Amino acid sequence: MLGKRDTSIYGTKTLDQIGQDLQKLGGELGLEVECRQSNHEGALIDMIQDATKSGVKGFVINPGAYGHTSIALRDALSDAALPFVEVHLSNIHKRESFRHKTYLSDIASGVIVGFGPDSYQLGLRALVNVIASLNR
């Protein structure tokens, strides 16, 4: 629904466009970037668990509302034991109080909020830095 849903908050860029931008940035940084999305909590957990078996080095994740509700998603990311950056297009701290806390932020390498689609690119750059610091 990105690009259509509440564009005053989330903007007009689609998830496919954001994914293309991330893959381009990944290429510039010498990375392979795979973009995935699901509206189903269990499918997201399966993706995280599968990724840990396939050599993935980390995640940039926009958990959407699941960030505020899903202990299962938190557990999957914690069990993956890989760095991840949590991103949100909107500034969740300027919104309803139930959006101010997420179940992921305290286990994330970092959290980026409020920069629209640029949140993803900032998140990818930050993740690259985190992974590099772990490999020193």
Query: Would you tell me how many other CB atoms lie within 10 Å of the CB of residue 61?
Result: 23
Structural domains in the chain (count): 1
Domain residue limits at 58: 7-134
Question: Could you tell me if residue 49 is inside a domain?
Answer: yes
CATH number at residue 84: 3.40.50.9100
* Structure-token match 């909020």, residue found: 113
- Among 40, 66, 68, 88, the active-site one is 88
Residue 136 binned pLDDT confidence (cut-offs 50, 70, 90): confident
Q: Over the stretch 83-112, which tens digit does the pLDDT of each residue have? A: 999 999 999 999 999 999 999 999 999 999
Q: Is position 100 annotated as part of the catalytic site?
A: no
Q: For residue 86, which of 69, 102, 70, 100 has the smallest C-alpha distance?
A: 102
> CB of 37 within 8 A of CB of 115?
no
Known active-site residue 40: no
Q: pTM for this one?
A: 0.93
Tell me how far apart the alpha carbons of residues 116 and 37 are, in angstroms, rounded to a whole number.
17
